[in-house]
């Protein structure tokens, strides 16, 4: 990518788990990285969204991180990784070694601004690592941008009147930033629970609220049946072009020993959602009030798809119609890490399927 306009067969946008998985299989099917397919990633280094996670998050306290396809050839596995080391460091280290081993030639930091049509071609407009505007003309795009760049914070009456801090998961760095404060943690997933565990002996008061009752599974880790149900929900929504449901709403929260201990000592008791936010805190429909210095929104993310807006793929229902990893409106656009592939449950499996379809699509052009 030395000129302002270059040509390639495939552009992969994003080098997290989904992007690297698809790229591995593209290479395995005979496409040359850096020539026949180009990977663009906006992160400063390897690791995808993991490099932006907070220091206290460890491999053992997060959802299971699946190995990338072919990672065993490097002698690496997240199953045997150091669980005392921050997850962000381990993932970045393993992904960096993986990219080098397979010579994937990831271009970063590159910010993709938009993807548009130019006759029969697709044009990826981006700002390159030197800060210069440039473009790549391509036949096919594999979008693997994930969700980290599109945090979701639901609106509640009075949000703008709150005199404390609104903090989303994406902005969380260290529990000691909240030392001695009264904290409201919003959300029903593992991130919310992780924040409660970290803040328990740091904050002066902790209140947990969730929009729906939290289901704690009897298993110590996510079971295959629950995982399959979550994938099916995501797949159905993607095929119908609806907004995607959260993974945790279909899986529940595994009852690990650490979580069970917190349940037993009364930490993990979620209240229903408050009805209004006031300058000094939150109030429930029954009139109960809780003072707060900060509201920590562990309310998840939405797929990051703004750069695809010129292609007009979005449906009235709020999502993009995707089946078997491909857009139903434009067969040149593939989605890795979207819908049923939006977590470690399905991302690696989809890499092979998408790569095969990409090669098939190229053969038709």
Q: Are residues 126 and 260 in the same domain?
A: no
Q: Is residue 278 part of a domain?
A: yes
Spatial separation of the C-alpha atoms in residues 229 and 165, rounded to whole Å: 36
Same domain, yes or no: 234 and 347: no
pLDDT band at 239 (very low <50, low <70, confident <90, very high): very low
Residue where a domain terminates, one of 269, 297, 325:
297
Residue 262 burial (10 A CB sphere; 0-12, 13-18, 19+):
middle
Same domain flag for 290 and 163 = yes
Q: Is 164 within a domain?
A: yes
Domain contains 154: no
> Which pLDDT belongs to residue 226?
45
Query: What is the rounded distance in angstroms from the CA atom of residue 79 to the CA atom of residue 64?
Result: 9
Domain boundary among 264, 297, 330: 297
| Alpha carbon distance 332, 57 (integer Å) | 37
* 3-state secondary structure at position 363: helix
**9/229: higher pLDDT:** 9
Q: What is the CATH number of the domain that holds 173?
A: 3.50.50.60
Which pTM value belongs to this model?
A: 0.83
Q: Check: CB of residue 110 under 8 Å from CB of residue 41.
A: yes
On whether both 37 and 106 belong to a single domain, the answer is: yes
Residues 336 and 206 in one domain: no
Domain total of the chain: 2
Give mean pLDDT, residues 175-183: 97
Structural contact between residues 141 and 112, judged by C-beta atoms closer than 8 angstroms: no
Whether residue 110 is contained in a domain is answered as yes
Alpha-carbon gap, residue 346 to 105, rounded angstroms: 25
Q: Answer yes or no: is 78 within a domain.
A: yes
Contacts of 137 (CB under 8 A, 6+ apart): 5, 6, 7, 8, 118, 121, 122, 123, 124
Final residue in a domain of this structure, among 297, 323, 352: 297
State whether 165 and 278 are in the same domain. yes
Q: How confident is the model at residue 107 (pLDDT cuts 50, 70, 90)?
A: very high
Q: Is residue 75 part of a domain?
A: yes
The percent of residues in the chain predicted with pLDDT above 70, rounded, is 85
Residue 10 sits in the same domain as residue 136: yes
Question: CA-CA distance, 123 to 361, in Å (whole number)?
Answer: 17
Closest CA to 341 of 252, 190, 238, 191: 238
pLDDT, tens only, 272-325: 999 999 999 999 999 999 999 999 999 988 889 999 999 999 887 767 888 888
Look at residue 239 and tell me if it is in a domain.
yes
Measuring CA to CA, which residue among 303, 296, 20 is closest to residue 170?
A: 296
Structure tokens at 22: 């698809």
Cβ of 2: how many Cβ atoms within 10 Å? 6
Q: Check whether residue 121 and residue 9 sit in a common domain.
A: yes
- Give phi and psi for 169, each to the nearest 5: -45, -40
Q: Which domain holds residue 171?
A: 159-297
The verdict on 281 and 225 lying in the same domain is yes
For residue 210, what are the contacts with CB-CB under 8 A and spacing of at least 6?
186, 187, 188, 192, 270, 271, 272, 273
Q: Do 129 and 254 reside in the same domain of the chain? A: no
Q: Give the whole-angstrom CA distance, residue 165 versus residue 173.
A: 14
Cα distances (Å, whole numbers) of residue 47 to 65, 108, 361: 12, 12, 29
**For 38-88, what is each residue's pLDDT tens digit?**
999 999 999 999 998 888 888 866 567 889 999 999 999 999 999 889 999
Residue 103 lies in a domain: yes
- If asked whether residues 272 and 323 sit together in one domain, one would say no
Instruction: Check whether residue 224 and residue 348 sit in a common domain.
Output: no
Confidence of residue 131 (pLDDT cuts 50, 70, 90): confident
């Amino acid at each position: 990518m030395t000129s302002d306009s270059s040509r390639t067969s495939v552009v992969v946008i994003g080098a997290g788990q989904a992007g690297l998985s698809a790229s591995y299989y593209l290479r395995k099917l005979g496409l040359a990285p850096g020539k026949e397919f180009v990977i663009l990633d906006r992160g400063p280094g390897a690791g995808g969204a993991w490099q932006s996670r907070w220091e206290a998050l460890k491999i053992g306290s997060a959802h299971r991180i699946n190995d990338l396809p072919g990672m065993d050839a490097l002698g690496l596995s997240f199953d045997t990784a150091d669980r005392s080391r921050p997850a962000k460091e381990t993932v970045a280290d393993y992904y960096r070694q993986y990219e080098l081993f397979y010579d994937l030639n990831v271009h970063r930091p590159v910010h993709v601004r938009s993807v548009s049509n130019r006759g029969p071609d697709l044009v990826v407009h981006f700002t390159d690592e030197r800060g210069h505007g440039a473009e790549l003309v391509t036949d096919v795009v594999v979008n693997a941008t994930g969700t980290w760049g599109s945090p979701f914070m639901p609106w509640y009456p009075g949000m703008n009147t709150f005199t404390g801090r609104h903090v989303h998961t994406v902005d969380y760095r260290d529990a000691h930033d909240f030392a001695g404060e009264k904290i409201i943690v919003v959300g029903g997933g593992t991130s919310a629970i992780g924040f409660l565990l970290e803040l328990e002996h740091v904050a002066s008061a902790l209140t947990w609220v969730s929009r729906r009752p939290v289901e704690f599974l009897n298993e110590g880790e996510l079971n295959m049946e629950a995982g399959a149900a979550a994938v099916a929900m995501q797949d159905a929504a993607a095929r119908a072009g609806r907004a995607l449901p959260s993974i945790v709403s279909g899986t529940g929260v595994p009852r690990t020993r650490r979580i069970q201990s917190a349940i037993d000592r009364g930490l993990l008791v979620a209240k229903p959602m408050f009805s209004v936010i006031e300058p000094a805190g939150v109030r429930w429909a029954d009139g109960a009030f809780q003072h707060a210095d900060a509201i920590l929104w562990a309310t998840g993310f939405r797929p990051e798809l703004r750069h695809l807006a010129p292609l007009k793929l979005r449906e009235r229902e709020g999502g993009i119609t995707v089946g078997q990893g491909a857009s139903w409106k434009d067969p040149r656009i593939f989605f890795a890490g979207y819908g049923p592939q939006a977590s470690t449950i399905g991302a690696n499996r989809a890499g092979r399927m998408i790569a095969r379809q990409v090669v098939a699509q190229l053969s038709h052009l």
